Chains A and B, each alone.
Chain A
Amino acid sequence: MENVIEIRNLTKSYGKNRGVIDVSLDVKNGEIFGFLGPNGAGKSTTIRSMLGFLKFNEGSIRILGMDSVKEHEKILRSVGYMPSEAWFYDTMKVSDVIKYAADVRGLDCSKEAAKICEKLKVNKDKRIKELSLGNRKKVSIVCAMQHKPELFIFDEPTSGLDPLIQKHFFELISEYVANGATCLLSTHVLTEVNKYCTSAAIMREGRLMMLDTPKIDDETFLGFYEDEEEK
């Protein structure tokens, strides 16, 4: 099975502050990969390094077989990313934001966008500044999915979404993954990991540890969030 994400010895620091240390990770084609860890553990740093938002100090990242630095633009054509905080341009209408994301990609995604909007009950006529966090997140999901990418990267996608929309969101992911996509899911929700993920890893204090199985119980899961000192 081919690796869609290959991270080798990734180290990123913010001046004297720790970011991530010597992280190596493989995500295989067709997986829904659970990416766990307490706040500030380094999950977002890893994701943001993969997407080229951060310039990492050491290591290498290959996505879909391409070098994340040299072929950054090409990689992003095949990636759908949803950040934990979904922000757009306040004065733009939802429909304009969705179309703008497709236009920049040079694609007509109107059919797929309409399908996702209907499923997630997105009101396309409102302006971004009129939306709640949950509704902004729905717009972000549409922007990440409408071009049917080969790789999804979701950073805490379900926070702020109501349970029904969460259910529809995972139905959509399952559908895309069944059609050959891969998904990296950064989350704090145990049920999401247990129910949907096929493999998982946990980040603690900038270091990554692969889990034997994503099917874990509450106690083990919460143990990951305890401080080293408490253990």
Chain B
Amino acid sequence: MRHIFAKELKLNMKSFIIWSLSVGLLGLACILLYKSMQGDMKEMADAFSNMGAFSDAFGMSTLSIATLKGYFATEVGTVHGLGGGMFAAIMAISIISKEEEGHSGEFIYSLPVSRSKVLLAKGLCVAVYLVAFTIICGLLYAGGFVALDEELPTGQLLTFMVRQMIMNFELAGICFGISSISWKNRMGLGIALSMCFYFYDVIGRVVPDLKDYLFVGPYSYANAAEIFTDADTPVKALVIAAVMIVCSVAFAFWYYNKRDLAS
């Protein structure tokens, strides 16, 4: 199984490097731009904090974008949330189905290894890359704070990165389940799914009636504005995330073991 795991790591390495550097460096660039924009930020912060529901949706009513912490939560929080979600979805939704789409399934499954072991190797590969993605982006963001000689909000940044990683795991888990039933690469579906969850969260924060149902979506517990204002831990949302991850991955194993493989 370790050879399949190593091969998956190798085959997905390029995609991982591109995504982690793109998202991480974009976030870092945002942070580094803060100083040059700091002068205009105060007026902007006042305007943004008085936009009613939209200020709530993007956390600008509770955090001032005139401070680096507030600026990070609103700007980099969005970049990392969207970028990380898309990376997780794209990687997981193609990891199983690519064997049948690329017709390499007959090669790999004629080797003496069970479908469960192949899935385990693929799932581990996704998990390793999501953790590595979080570490690389987290280090780049922390580097941005240090480069600007600003105080690093270590605890909040760590909580933000870990919650974002859990959100990535949840999206990846759902996409892993979809990948197990698909004979084709559904990259578009993966991107659409991550975008839908993101906009569900944004709309949920704008529309008052939806606020009570926000916890269902994976972005609810990874909201940067809430984390950087030390809001209560959304236990219900995190429990649902854990259940979703376990159920999606268990479904992938169960379904993939009972279905026919395409040639």
Contacting residues, chain A, for B106 (C-beta < 8 A): 53, 81, 83, 85, 87
Known: A72-B114, A77-B112, A89-B11. A48 touches B102 (CB 8 A): no
Contacting residues, chain B, for A101 (C-beta < 8 A): 107, 111
Is B29 part of the contact surface with A, judged by Cβ < 8 Å? no
Rounded to whole Å, the gap between the CB of A45 and the closest CB of chain B is 10
Contacting residues, chain B, for A79 (C-beta < 8 A): 110
CA distance A100 to B11 in the complex (A): 13
CA distance A118 to B259 in the complex (A): 39
Specify the main secondary structure of chain A where it touches its partner. Answer: mixed
Q: In A96-120, which residues have CB < 8 Å from any B CB? A: 100-101, 103-105
CA distance A89 to B111 in the complex (A): 15
Is A90 part of the contact surface with B, judged by Cβ < 8 Å? yes
The chain B residue sitting closest to A143, CB to CB, is B107
Interface contact B109-A51, CB-CB below 8 Å: yes
Known: A55-B260, A74-B112, A103-B3. A89 touches B104 (CB 8 A): yes
Is B146 part of the contact surface with A, judged by Cβ < 8 Å? no
Is B236 part of the contact surface with A, judged by Cβ < 8 Å? no
Interface contact A87-B110, CB-CB below 8 Å: no
Known: A87-B104, A104-B3. A53 touches B111 (CB 8 A): no
Rounded to whole Å, the gap between the CB of B246 and the closest CB of chain A is 25
Contacting residues, chain B, for A73 (C-beta < 8 A): 112-114
> Which residue of A55, A77, A88 contacts B107 across the interface (Cβ within 8 Å)?
A88
Rounded to whole Å, the gap between the CB of B181 and the closest CB of chain A is 15
Interface contact A88-B104, CB-CB below 8 Å: yes
The chain B residue sitting closest to A53, CB to CB, is B261
The chain A residue sitting closest to B103, CB to CB, is A87
CA distance A75 to B113 in the complex (A): 10
Interface contact B260-A105, CB-CB below 8 Å: no
Is B38 part of the contact surface with A, judged by Cβ < 8 Å? no
Specify the main secondary structure of chain B where it touches its partner. Answer: loop
CA distance A81 to B106 in the complex (A): 9
Contacting residues, chain A, for B258 (C-beta < 8 A): 55
- Chain B: interface residue count, which band? 20 to 34
Is B62 part of the contact surface with A, judged by Cβ < 8 Å? no
CA distance A79 to B263 in the complex (A): 18
Q: In B68-112, which residues have CB < 8 Å from any A CB? A: 102-107, 109-112
Interface contact B263-A104, CB-CB below 8 Å: no
Contacting residues, chain A, for B104 (C-beta < 8 A): 87-89
Known: A83-B106, A89-B104. A104 touches B111 (CB 8 A): yes
Interface contact A76-B263, CB-CB below 8 Å: no
Is B7 part of the contact surface with A, judged by Cβ < 8 Å? yes
Is A220 part of the contact surface with B, judged by Cβ < 8 Å? no
Contacting residues, chain B, for A143 (C-beta < 8 A): 107
Q: Indicate the member of A52, A89, A140 with the most B CB atoms within 10 Å.
A: A89
> Which residue of A51, A74, A100 contacts B110 across the interface (Cβ within 8 Å)?
A51
Interface contact A76-B112, CB-CB below 8 Å: yes
Q: In B9-55, which residues have CB < 8 Å from any A CB? A: 11
Interface contact A48-B112, CB-CB below 8 Å: no
CA distance A178 to B127 in the complex (A): 48
Q: 1/0 per residue B228-263: CB within 8 Å of A? A: 000000000000000000000000000000111101
Contacting residues, chain B, for A91 (C-beta < 8 A): 11
Is A54 part of the contact surface with B, judged by Cβ < 8 Å? yes
Is A44 part of the contact surface with B, judged by Cβ < 8 Å? yes
Is B4 part of the contact surface with A, judged by Cβ < 8 Å? yes
CA distance A77 to B11 in the complex (A): 25
Rounded to whole Å, the gap between the CB of A161 and the closest CB of chain B is 18
Q: Could you pull out 9 A-B pairs where Cβ atoms are within 8 angstroms?
A: A53-B109, A53-B260, A53-B263, A55-B258, A55-B260, A72-B114, A81-B110, A100-B7, A105-B112
Residues of B at the A interface (CB closer than 8 Å) are: 3-4, 7, 11, 102-107, 109-114, 258-261, 263
